[in-house]
Structure 1
Amino acid sequence: MGRSCARLDGQMPSSSNASRILRFAQQPALQLIYDTAPIGLACLSPDCRYLEINQRLTEICGISVEDHLGRFVRDCVPALADAVEAIVRSIMNTGEPVIGVEVTGQRADQVEERHWVTYWHPLRAPSGEIIAINVAAEEITERKRAEREIRAARDAAETALRHLRETQDSLIEAEKLAALGRMVAGIAHEMNSPVGISLTVASTLQQKAAQFSAKAASGDLKRSSLNAFIGLVQDAASQLVTNLSRSAERIQSFKEVALDQSQSKRRSFDPGLLTEQVLSHLTRDSKHQSIAIGSHCERNLSMDSYPGPLGQVLTHLVVNAMTHAFPEGLDGVIDIRMAASGADHVELAIADDGCGMTADVRRLAFDPFFTTRRNFGATGLGLHIVHTIVTERLGGRINLESEPGNGTTVSLILPRMAP
């Protein structure tokens, strides 16, 4: 019979005990269960011999009754013998079943790795003595394969999601830089006029000063020439002060807005004044598109919040309106209102009289990468950035109202004290 596993008392089972086990295992009721069970079943003797094997076990394990019945597990399945003997020994020791043991191996007629989950229960004689071990084996190869596929799909999805988030983050940064670029273009446009006037006045003053100096050197200086030169200097100085002061104000405003947007620091500020500063840098694009931007901002609305992100929100909303509300060069009006909303909030509303949105577009407006103008280079992140900043950084809420042909209004309710 080959090598057997040791019994707990170190002795082989007697022939009478073996016969008793076989007779018990071959009772008609037990045999019927074995023959009709939908899972693999086997009965092992305490010394690890196969006493009974059902048809299902032969199917899922690729074994034959003739090659196993009455033989020791170690002779039939050497690779699993140690584990089987340990389980049988535990049951004989404790009398407790061993449940849910997973077994991995190969059928003799296949090279594919297969998986089973096994359940081990003691079989007792009327006297209570454990005379055999019932083993139930359920094949879970397909389940394991499905689990591997699910894990692989999950890993692939997580990798794709990570790449998507990285791409989204980079695009969001690009959108922020684009917004800052628009303000740079706006401030350059605003600076052209006062700097140009100042340069013209300074050039004229330089020429007049040279002429005055030549007359003074030749001794041909008259009182009327002196009075005219003094008047010219006073007028030039006044124009230079006016235009250079205007330039200095523009530069300081741009510095504050740019610094806020680049650093996103929290501080106390007047949201109405911030709104006017941001809008002043967007006038170039609006004039180019024949779009009038009007603002009605209540002053002295102190907020302890993040002016940079709020400026980004306003920039994105105005640019989005100019881009999407007035296609094909249509002219129109964008109206911005900032006012108190109760004691603890302010309301910022951006309304246009453009083409409006359909219900489907309105429903998806804040979704990332959704845009109706992808063919024109739009990324679909502008309103998504707005929604993220308003709800997560500023602690506010956002509402969108729009109908086809009736324009769009975006309303923000923001706490004066950011969370």
Structure 2
Amino acid sequence: MSKNPNSGAAAVKSSSVVLFPQQPVLQLIYDTAPIGLACLSPDCRYLQINQRLTEICGISIEDHLGRSVRDCVPALAEAVEGIVGSIMQTGEPVIGIEVAGQRADQADERFWITYWHPLRSPSGEIVAVNVAAEEITERKRAEAALRATQNSLIEAEKLAALGRLVAGVAHEINNPVGTSLTVASTLERKIASIAAELAQDRLRRSNLTEFLEISREASSQLVANLQHAAELIESFKQVATDRGYSNRRVFDLGHLTEQFAISLRSGLGKRNLILNVDCQPNLTMDSYPGPYGQALTNLFLNATAHAFPDGKGGTVDIKVTAAEDDCVEIVFSDNGCGMSLDVRRKAFDPFFTTRRDQGNTGLGLHIVHTVVTNCLGGRLHLDSEPGAGTTIQLVLPRVAPAQLGPDGRQTRTSIDARA
């Protein structure tokens, strides 16, 4: 691919291909087009190169025209030969192929997007392949910067959600622990009083009977409160253990959902909200419990923040059942204020929120969508009407797909031009 104002009129001696014979205006358009253009022979030799391609690739006509791709750019040869071979065989164009590499005169990485189309003779025979190349380096850099910023905000939102969960659990644990401490202190004083009466030989049957009754009641309260605290701690330990996205394991979906529900209920505080959980037993999953818990947490926090304005009470329901095609269905619903059509259409968009003035980032439901579709390999459906509550249906495979990367996405087909 090269640099010469008159290169459009040139043709390789071994080939009679001229793009626009006897049409100088079209040839001039080819030579001055704002995107890079090249013409390759069926055996992948450079037949023509326009001015723009020499500029965006930093190449010269002398080093390319008439020579094969394998001689000029060995790193690209196999991929280019495959594309040209496919076009020669099928007659179909190949579009949207990204090329990553370095210009001949620069060290930094550049990016191009290329489009490959067959060039036919009047008889319909494919005599060459026309390649169009557009540089997209700045766009790719801007996209990378945007992704980095968005990923940073998403991680911050995940930590914020975990922080709210931790605060709720800590507050909830304080209640049974505080009650247990009060009961234990009272029991300690009673024991000291009974011991003193016994030492002075003043202990009466009525006092002993009263002490035994108080001890039984205190023991019962201590056991109940400490069991509740232990359940909260165990649920939070499970949340913390499974939080990593790479921590794939086999688990019972109903049991895990109940564990997360214990932690979620702890965040309700004095709000007049009820969380109901109904799980079908024996739903074994081979998946990622951490991302699943993140999705549940974000759905719950989104509902408590948006579905029940002005302290209004209500109910949140989570129902877990088996579904067809070796999947499970999780239906998360509330009887809150619901969503308008406009809000419903944008609900999963990043940074969309109806309460930015209250510090919301608009990433809660976007994280849910990303986790469900990219990491857990599932799909989701939102149904909501103003005044009629909101229902979000998650359908997840019982065996999650292998993760493809940090964001769970497949990359586009591309050619890496680096040597």
1:171 aligns with 2:153: yes
Q: Contact between 1:272 and 1:298, CA under 8 Å: does it hold in 2? A: yes
User: Which residue of structure 1 aligns with residue 283 of structure 2?
Assistant: 301
Q: Contact between 1:102 and 1:116, CA under 8 Å: does it hold in 2? A: no
Q: How many residues align?
A: 293
Q: Contact between 1:261 and 1:307, CA under 8 Å: does it hold in 2? A: yes
User: Which residue of structure 1 aligns with residue 222 of structure 2?
Assistant: 240
Give how far 1:103 is off.
8.6
Q: Contact between 1:102 and 1:117, CA under 8 Å: does it hold in 2? A: no
CA deviations 1:97-116 (Å, max 9, x no partner) are x9758899xxxxxxxxxx99
Describe the shift of the 1:100–1:174 C-alpha distance in structure 2 as closer, same or farther (beyond 3 A): same
Equivalent positions of 1:15-414 (< 5 A) are 100=48, 154-262=136-244, 264-286=246-268, 288-342=270-324, 344-414=326-396
Give how far 1:290 is off.
2.4
CA deviations 1:44-66 (Å, max 9, x no partner) are xxxxxxxxxxxxxxxxxxxxxxx
| Deviation >4 Å, runs of 4+ | 37-41, 98-104, 115-118, 150-153
Give how far 1:153 is off.
8.6
Q: Contact between 2:378 and 2:397, CA under 8 Å: does it hold in 1? A: yes
Distance (Å, rounded) in 2 between the aligned partners of 1:40 and 1:313: 57
Q: Provide the secondary structure at the position in 2 that maps to 1:261.
A: coil
Q: Provide the secondary structure at the position in 2 that maps to 1:282.
A: helix
CA deviations 1:343-388 (Å, max 9, x no partner) are 6111101112223223332222222222222222111211111111
Distance (Å, rounded) in 1 between the aligned partners of 2:381 and 2:178: 43
Give how far 1:398 is off.
0.7
Unaligned 5+ segments in structure 1 are 1-36, 42-97, 105-114, 121-147
Distance (Å, rounded) in 2 between the aligned partners of 1:40 and 1:408: 61
What is the TM-score when the length of structure 2 is the normalising length? 0.61
What is the TM-score when the length of structure 1 is the normalising length? 0.61
Distance (Å, rounded) in 2 between the aligned partners of 1:280 and 1:231: 32
Q: Contact between 1:349 and 1:409, CA under 8 Å: does it hold in 2? A: yes
Q: Provide the secondary structure at the position in 2 that maps to 1:338.
A: strand
Q: Contact between 2:168 and 2:268, CA under 8 Å: does it hold in 1? A: no
Describe the shift of the 1:227–1:359 C-alpha distance in structure 2 as closer, same or farther (beyond 3 A): closer
Amino acid at match of 2:220: S
Give how far 1:309 is off.
0.9
Amino acid at match of 1:296: D
User: Which residue of structure 1 aligns with residue 108 of structure 2?
Assistant: none
CA deviations 1:161-180 (Å, max 9, x no partner) are 22211111111111211221
Q: Name the % identity.
A: 53
Kindly indicate whether structure 1 or structure 2 has the higher relative contact order, using CA contacts under 8 Å at least 6 residues apart: 2
With 159-168 and 311-320 compared, the bigger mean Cα shift is at 159-168
Describe the shift of the 1:263–1:240 C-alpha distance in structure 2 as closer, same or farther (beyond 3 A): farther
Q: Contact between 1:103 and 1:116, CA under 8 Å: does it hold in 2? A: no
Q: Contact between 1:272 and 1:300, CA under 8 Å: does it hold in 2? A: yes
Give how far 1:228 is off.
3.4
Max Rg structure: 1
Give how far 1:276 is off.
2.2
User: Which residue of structure 1 aligns with residue 397 of structure 2?
Assistant: 415
Q: Contact between 1:198 and 1:243, CA under 8 Å: does it hold in 2? A: yes
Distance (Å, rounded) in 2 between the aligned partners of 1:103 and 1:264: 49
Give how far 1:299 is off.
2.2
Give how far 1:340 is off.
1.3
Q: CA RMSD in A?
A: 3.6
Q: Provide the secondary structure at the position in 1 that maps to 2:242.
A: helix
Q: Contact between 1:264 and 1:307, CA under 8 Å: does it hold in 2? A: no
Unaligned 5+ segments in structure 2 are 1-23, 29-45, 53-58, 66-110, 114-132, 402-419
Q: Contact between 2:165 and 2:267, CA under 8 Å: does it hold in 1? A: no
Distance (Å, rounded) in 1 between the aligned partners of 2:26 and 2:230: 87
Describe the shift of the 1:215–1:38 C-alpha distance in structure 2 as closer, same or farther (beyond 3 A): closer
Distance (Å, rounded) in 1 between the aligned partners of 2:51 and 2:280: 75
Q: Contact between 2:379 and 2:396, CA under 8 Å: does it hold in 1? A: yes
Q: Contact between 2:168 and 2:269, CA under 8 Å: does it hold in 1? A: no
Amino acid at match of 1:240: L
Q: Contact between 1:182 and 1:282, CA under 8 Å: does it hold in 2? A: no
